[in-house]
Amino acid sequence: MRKILLIKSILVLILSTAFAQDRIVSGTVISAEDGFPIPGVTILVKGTMIGTATDLEGNYSLSVPFENNILVFRFIGSFTEEALIDNRSQINISLRPDTKNLEEFVVTGYSVQPKREVTGAVSSVKGEIIANLPMQSFDRALQGRAAGVQVASANGLPGGAVNIRIRGTGSINAGNEPLYIVDGVQINARDDAAFTQSNPLAFLNTNDIESIEILKDAASAAIYGAQAANGVVIITTKKGKQGKAQFTFNAFGGSSQPLKYMDVYNSQEWYELRKESWVNAGNAIPEANTLNNMGILPSNWQSLSPEELDAVAGNLSTYDWQREVMGTGNLQNYEMSIAGGDERTLFRVSGSYNYQESTFSPVDFERGTLLFSLSHQVNSKLRIENNLNLSSFSQDIPFSTSGSFLGNPAFASSLILPHNAIYNEDGSFNTNIAGVLNQNVVMVNKYNSGHQRTNTIVGSLAANYQILENLTFRSMFGLDYRLLQGEQFRDPRTPDGAGVQGRASTQSNWNVNFITTQTLNWSKTLALDHHIALLGGFEYRSETNESLRGSAIGFPSYEFRTIQSGATPETLSSYWSGYRRAGAFASFNYDFKKKYMLTITGRYDGSSRFGVDTQYGFFPSIRFGWFIKDEAFLRDSEVISELKIRASIGKTGNDQIGNFSARGLFGAEGNYSGSGGIRPIGLENRNLSWEINQSTNFGVDYGFFGNKLTGSIDLFNRRSMNLLLDLPVIAVNGFSSVTSNVGELVNRGIELELSSTLVDKGSFRWNTSFNYTYIQNEITKLYDGNQFLPSDPSIAVGYSLGTHFTQQYAGVNPATGRPMWYDINGDITYQPRAEDRVHLGNSLPSHFGGFQNAFYFKGFEAIVFFNYEYGRVITDGQFNSLRENGTRLTTNALREVADRRWTTPGQITDIPRPYVGGPEVRSVNMNTGSSVLLKADYIRLKQLTLAYNFNPELIKGLGLSAVRVFAQGINLWTYSEFPGYDPEFLGSGTGIIPQTKNYTIGIQAGF
């Protein structure tokens, strides 16, 4: 019996051992990038065919034989990872993205292409590159990020205007803005705000952007026809992805500070400067006259000696008006999103709140957004897609966005005489301000008020129906709706409102932009190697714009600030405008073995903006690509990992003119002999058509050493023809000009983009990116053989747009201190005339770009990004006012200028001696001609980011999948010789609110 039991025990032990050769290993696979689980990861037992895949939540479970000890984790677009099992039964893995082996797709005209097959000039900026930047619109965040794309801020208003030029300025009078498309909806980017600058593109939260594609050459943009001459910017927002629902929370906050303060004279220094100007004018009592200019001349001044009068000035205090109106602003941002889906339905919902104060109180920006994206596969043939973006942003407005208004704090704060007190001893505002700037701008800024609000709906609904296996129909309907409302109040306690007992103004503006696009896509592969894709479509766009404005005066008190409280209606106006555009388009794509690629597109467009005889136009293009790397002589190269040549030519149109420029118009004249009257206000031009943009492009895309070094080089020639100019006509018919298609200009240049992975060892990675653009702009033709425009001689054949046409400054006469100029013959003159003007530099930069270094070590990351511009020469109205040294007007002076002024014979300088009243006898103003032209070259540390990503294993117990904390600085450092507030600004620079430095800290969490 014992033997039998022993034999049974041995058999059980043997069988148990045999069955115990397998063990169960389970775990979760997440993304090292964001900490979210990854479904569909393949897990294999190394050296066997045993394997499984992760589920929707990234979980797996696998039976592993005891003799095998390594698991292999593979997922498309990620590095393969291996893990030793040893005695572990649970193995969690984080997969790092492998962007080199993940085929990148690029959104182009009405389609998506693998980047390898793109044959045009297209730059792509991924959403993560511009994420969490404290900027209210994505266009501002593009600065320095893409070759050929110049971005400049008009000022530092939160939510203010931004200027984008793609491959230069291509028009003189028509618009130069690119076409913006958000999820298939073409956006109206015109600013219709009456009381501030309100950037329509600020409706979109930058962190909701997945990618931005920029179509730069005419061949890529030609499929958009008459609206694509200035390039196309395609924005794709984030969508849901298959897998477990992923929640994200993002928050950051910080402060904004002025880029700089003007270093102006104190009270005693200004007194000495002004006294010196009186002496130079031959005045016998300079001390008394200077004190009189300052409004502090003692009543007994005639009995006081010059030394005693000097003592009056010596006892004066100095008040810093700049720091009183320019301070620190707060900023904060909060976001939450949820995204996920299954094999049939994908969704994403996000909401955000953003607030930023300007350094000029009470100017600010406040926005709330809600973005909803849904995609549902109804059946095997039909998929429905919906995108909806709701946005409302409001702005407390400045006294003025620009200009030399006495009450404009941005203009007056650096120029007010420094001895003027801001407050009286009892704390009330001092209103007895001496000098030409005689308003207390601190009081004006506090008492006057205004508000601008913009409500936006941008949405689309699309259906994709697969008619046949290789034939798909897509129907899309989109809407861009914007309601803009504004109000402004000039307080009766301030000079601008005192004379009328207060003035209130109001504005309402409605913009309705409707678009529908219907397309058919067909594709076929023939004999394995020949791939053909055809696209045909029709598009219709209608836009209407309505506005209502009014104002009233005579308010019972300053507490009543809305227009209905005014005793007297002052103005009332309204208008309606609109246009329609329709077009049919097609494209043909062919490639052989993905090695030789050909694309032909054409669009036939019609627009209501143009003459009845020229309302339609055809815009064709052709592109060719050759993927040389796949040729036998390069296929096995270990140095060259990618090489493609691209060439293209295409034609696009520019329809950015008035909606009725081609029409013969009549306008109401109001009261005419007791009745309503009308009169002609515009001549008809039946042949007015769009400006034509024809460009050629040759490019090379390259990669070396396993794509550790990648980039592209593009040469382009952009020719703009049929420019819209005002052609003079005989004035006897009541009109002086008619808009016509005359003139040509060209933009030629080179673009370079370069990215590299300099180090990728263990836990340390160092990535760099660099882009550079050189552009030469030249006017090549005007009308009637003219070499310059009679109305504006600075626009001349052979010169660039933005060229300064003025007298050349020769400096200061060392013997007398008088300013000098060159006449047309190159001789010295003290009274330059109009005929002495020459072309001197231009305001368009010839070189610009950006470069970035990104460092990653375990969970740490550091990003350093610079942008730069070179070759731009501008004039700055704010600096010009300070440069006068308080001589023409009683205003303050800039130290670096006033300290350089001529004071003694033999002195070599560029600043003449001060002379009260401005120009000396038989001379002109010291700011005449090129004396005020300034180099605006700069290099700026645009972004510095330090961040730490927590190990997902450490935070898993908290229910979190990812946590990232970061600190960031914007505009931290600028190298430039420019003496004004900011070398980046556009326009005159007079009284604009400058850009700011921003400091933020934040946290991102996923769960």
Residue range 512-569, pLDDT digits in tens: 999 999 999 999 999 889 999 999 999 999 999 999 999 999 999 999 999 999 999 9
Give the DSSP H or E segment for 512.
Answer: strand 503-526
Q: pLDDT band at residue 644, thresholds of 50, 70 and 90?
A: very high
pLDDT at 67 over 80: yes
State the Cα angle at 656 between 650 and 660, rounded to 5°: 130
Q: Residue 160 domain-assigned? A: no
pLDDT at 1: 43
In this structure, how many other beta carbons lie within 10 angstroms of the beta carbon of residue 428?
9
The CA-atom distances, in angstroms, between 410 and each of 163, 359, 360, 879 are 21, 10, 8, 12
Q: What is the Cα–Cα distance from 462 to 415, expressed in whole angstroms?
A: 57
Q: What is the Cα–Cα distance from 994 to 151, expressed in whole angstroms?
A: 16
The CATH number linked to 40 is 2.60.40.1120
pLDDT at 803: 94
pLDDT at 16: 43
The answer to whether 840 and 800 have CB atoms below 8 angstroms apart is no
Q: Residue 948 domain-assigned? A: no
pLDDT 10s digits, 399-442: 888 888 888 899 999 999 999 999 999 999 999 999 999 999 99
CA gyration radius, the chain? 34
Q: Residue 298 domain-assigned? A: no
Q: Residue 706 domain-assigned? A: no
pLDDT at 952: 85
Q: pLDDT band at residue 955, thresholds of 50, 70 and 90?
A: confident
pLDDT 10s digits, 4-62: 444 444 444 333 444 445 788 999 888 877 777 888 888 988 888 888 888 877 889 88
pTM above 0.85, yes or no: yes
Q: What is the Cα–Cα distance from 879 to 991, expressed in whole angstroms?
A: 10
Q: What is the Cα–Cα distance from 754 to 752, expressed in whole angstroms?
A: 7
Q: Residue 407 domain-assigned? A: no
Rounded to an integer, the average pLDDT of 191-217 is 91
Q: pLDDT band at residue 675, thresholds of 50, 70 and 90?
A: confident
pLDDT 10s digits, 277-314: 999 999 999 999 999 999 999 999 999 999 999 999 99
Give the DSSP H or E segment for 713.
Answer: strand 709-721
For residues 604 and 173, the model is more confident at 604
Q: Residue 449 domain-assigned? A: no
Q: Which residue segment(s) compose the domain that 68 sits in? A: 20-95
Q: What is the DSSP letter of 729?
A: -
pLDDT at 2: 45
pLDDT at 103 over 70: no
Of the chain, the percentage scoring pLDDT greater than 70 comes to 96
Number of domain units in the chain: 1
Average pLDDT of the chain to the nearest whole number = 90
pLDDT at 15: 39
Q: Residue 56 domain-assigned? A: yes
Q: Residue 48 domain-assigned? A: yes
Of the chain, the percentage scoring pLDDT greater than 90 comes to 67
pLDDT 10s digits, 244-260: 888 999 999 999 999 99
CA 882 to chain CA centroid, Å, is 30
* Strands 122-126, 59-65: pairing kind: unpaired
Q: What is the Cα–Cα distance from 546 to 548, expressed in whole angstroms?
A: 7
Q: pLDDT band at residue 394, thresholds of 50, 70 and 90?
A: very high
Cβ-Cβ contacts under 8 Å for 584 (sequence gap 6 or more): 536, 537, 538, 539, 603, 604
pLDDT at 100: 54
Rounded to an integer, the average pLDDT of 573-602 is 94
pLDDT 10s digits, 694-715: 999 999 999 999 899 999 999 9
pLDDT at 52: 87
Sign of the CA dihedral running 226, 228, 230, 233:
positive
Sign of the CA dihedral running 239, 244, 245, 247:
negative
Q: Using CB atoms within 10 A of its CB, is residue 926 exposed (0-12), middle (13-18) or buried (19+)? A: buried
For residues 684 and 578, the model is more confident at 578
pLDDT at 268 over 90: yes
Cβ-Cβ contacts under 8 Å for 509 (sequence gap 6 or more): 192, 193, 194, 482, 483, 484, 485, 545, 546, 547, 548
pLDDT at 696: 96
